[in-house]
Structure 1
Amino acid sequence: MNHRELTEITVVGDDDTGLVANVTTLLFERGINIEDVDQAVREGVFRMTVHVETSDMDVSKHRLRRDLADLGDDLDVDVRVRFPSERDARQVAVLVTKESHCLQRLLDARDEFDAEIGVIIGNHDDLEPLATEHGIPFHDVGDDGGVHDEEKLLSLLDDYDTDLVVLARFMRILSPNVVFRYEGRIINIHPSLLPAFPGAKAYRQAKEAGARIAGVTAHYVTTDLDQGPIISQRVFNVPDDGSVEELRERGQPLEADALLEAVRLHLNDDVEIRRGRTELRESGGDESKYQLGMPPELDAEMPDEPIDGTLALGESDD
């Protein structure tokens, strides 16, 4: 049984002893079978995601939700419950700042998704007209300096029953309080070939380092900045006399392309995270459907020899 067929329970709050035992004991007492548990602690914030089988539980959905909410109040943690029937129509929230190219590409392709872009959230209001043009609610959660209100952001993600968060050039760092609630369900686009040039001003970093080839990376977000599992990448040549702005102009279409590919992979359930890296699922992942890196036709341009160890020095193949 895959995770989409199971009830998902997420617990987030300050780390304390006994959290896991209290939650799992409550579930056991109500006849609920635990299929998978994932937990972590970062910067004092505890997160646990539990996937459980609730079809034969001894209580109603309403009672389970109330009991878990009461337990959360007692333990001073936030507990969210999502039943399979509530997860059929998946909802995507797109977070933006001022750049429109990635958002535009997602909006142009949204009819292809097995999901709905339910809300666009910005830390500035620059892209509200684009959201309005496409009939999608827009919410500005930033102050005058663009610093976002995380409590308001979390409330909106909850209100729109968000399954996937897409950072379409959202130029702010999300805290563990947000990341932990949606771990494995936040995709970011970064303008470099990670792990090279993480952080801000990646195109400038590539230019100043004298890179001959630059690129972009779509990856899952973790609490380690720009170090989450890589999903897709694109590359381009850096002209000898190219300015930072020229690198940006070459990179932006590839940012939109790589981000869209990553969103497709996730929504089609064709990618999964194993041991900190992504892999195509054996059940449905067909690499020929996707461009994860360079276009296949470039393989023909790659040299195939020499290869270390095929012939020893001075020997022949006679």
Structure 2
Amino acid sequence: MNMFTENTARLLISCEDRPGIVQAVSSFLYHQGANITALDQYATEAQGGQYFMRVEFELDHLATRLETLSSTFAKNVAEKYDMQWTLSSVSDVKKVGILVSKVDHALLELLWRHSRGSLPCEITQVISNHEDLRDKVERFGIPFHVVPVNKDNKVEAYAKIDEMMQGNDLLVLARYMQILSEDFVAKWPQQIINIHHSFLPAFVGANPYKQAYEKGVKLIGATAHYVTADLDQGPIIEQDVERVSHDYNVEQLRELGEDVERNVLARAVRWHLEDRVIVNGNKTIVFD
């Protein structure tokens, strides 16, 4: 595991694959005096596919040099290879807002990991459409707000939530049992992560563990994905499954399933915070 400092930066790149990309990036960083500490890459084809790269490096006095470094990289490297790219300092901690309803397992996993320092972010607030989880959230010192949502006030409610969440870099739906409007989702592209209580595309809708029980499944799972206007169809970040037996009842399936959910969501959120995810159409490249 890398030890990050105030001089650690991350560079994410996607572009058409061409010879010379690795050399161009590494040579640029070398001539800037940077030391590469981690480099991951992936190409979709042996020749002529899409290319993806994630680089971590150390550079003295990064804070005062980041703006110049970005503009120089854009001019000398990115433009030549027509790159989509981001360059950021690890010390710029991302801000995260959480949306939840009444079920607490996914939420509490995030709050617990954050309290132990294993989620590198600032959790700014939790917003719910119910009052139920206030005490549990406030025990962690996190502000808790209630914005009721019903069929008659959804436009106003989502406008209020959007306003309250401004300034965050990421929103996490920790079992938020409301369907976000297309307008809301459009304002947060690739900035909303949801946990779905099944191994997508199976068992979409209500009572997934009852559906699983009635089908006699032998595997149950969970899926974390970015939210898009198409319900539960966004790019998948992480999935996991557990094997089950014919003698599991609905409650046993739910208990095991919730364990899978909490861990899948936490991994997906951490990978996003650590700039390990690159979205490519409706797929993701995850350098985990």
Tell me which interval the TM-score lies in, with the shorter structure as reference length: 0.5 to 0.7
Partner of 1:235: 241
Q: Which moved more, 1:181-190 or 1:203-212?
A: 203-212
CA deviation map 1:77-101 (0-9, x unaligned): xxxxxxx89x933210011111111
Kindly report the root-mean-square deviation, in angstroms, between the aligned alpha carbons of the 2 structures: 2.5
Partner of 1:103: 107
Question: In structure 2, what is the Cα distance between the partners aligned to 1:95 and 1:253?
Answer: 19
Secondary structure, in 3 states, of the residue corresponding to 1:182?
A: coil
CA apart distance, 1:164:
0.4
Question: In structure 2, what is the Cα distance between the partners aligned to 1:225 and 1:210?
Answer: 25
Secondary structure, in 3 states, of the residue corresponding to 1:214?
A: strand
Maintained 8 Å contact 1:199/1:226 = no
User: Is 1:267 aligned to residue 253 of structure 2?
Assistant: no
Residue identity matched to 2:210 = R
CA apart distance, 1:209:
2.1
CA apart distance, 1:243:
2.1
Secondary structure, in 3 states, of the residue corresponding to 2:99?
A: strand
Partner of 1:214: 220
CA apart distance, 1:144:
7.7
**Larger of the two Rg values belongs to structure:** 1
Partner of 2:97: 93
CA apart distance, 1:210:
2.3
CA apart distance, 1:230:
1.1
Partner of 2:192: 186
Q: More relative contact order in 1 or in 2 (CA 8 Å, sep 6+)? A: 2
CA apart distance, 1:236:
1.6
Question: In structure 2, what is the Cα distance between the partners aligned to 1:185 and 1:225?
Answer: 15
Secondary structure, in 3 states, of the residue corresponding to 2:185?
A: helix
How many residues align? The count is 202
CA distance 1:223–1:145, change in 2 (3 Å): closer
Correspondence for 1:164 among 159, 170, 173: 170
Q: Which runs of 4+ in 1 moved over 6 A?
A: 1-4, 144-147
Maintained 8 Å contact 2:10/2:275 = no
User: Is 1:257 aligned to residue 266 of structure 2?
Assistant: no
Secondary structure, in 3 states, of the residue corresponding to 1:264?
A: helix
CA apart distance, 1:181:
0.9
CA distance 1:250–1:147, change in 2 (3 Å): farther
Gaps of 5+ in 1: 5-54, 57-83, 288-318
User: Is 1:204 aligned to residue 210 of structure 2?
Assistant: yes
Secondary structure, in 3 states, of the residue corresponding to 2:187?
A: helix
Maintained 8 Å contact 1:122/1:142 = yes
Gaps of 5+ in 2: 1-8, 13-66, 69-87
Question: In structure 1, what is the Cα distance between the partners aligned to 2:189 and 2:285?
Answer: 16
Residue identity matched to 1:192 = S
CA distance 1:173–1:147, change in 2 (3 Å): farther
Correspondence for 1:116 among 107, 116, 122: 122
Question: In structure 1, what is the Cα distance between the partners aligned to 2:259 and 2:138?
Answer: 23
CA distance 1:264–1:238, change in 2 (3 Å): same
CA apart distance, 1:147:
7.2
CA distance 1:3–1:155, change in 2 (3 Å): farther
Maintained 8 Å contact 1:93/1:162 = yes
Secondary structure, in 3 states, of the residue corresponding to 2:194?
A: strand
User: Is 1:173 aligned to residue 179 of structure 2?
Assistant: yes
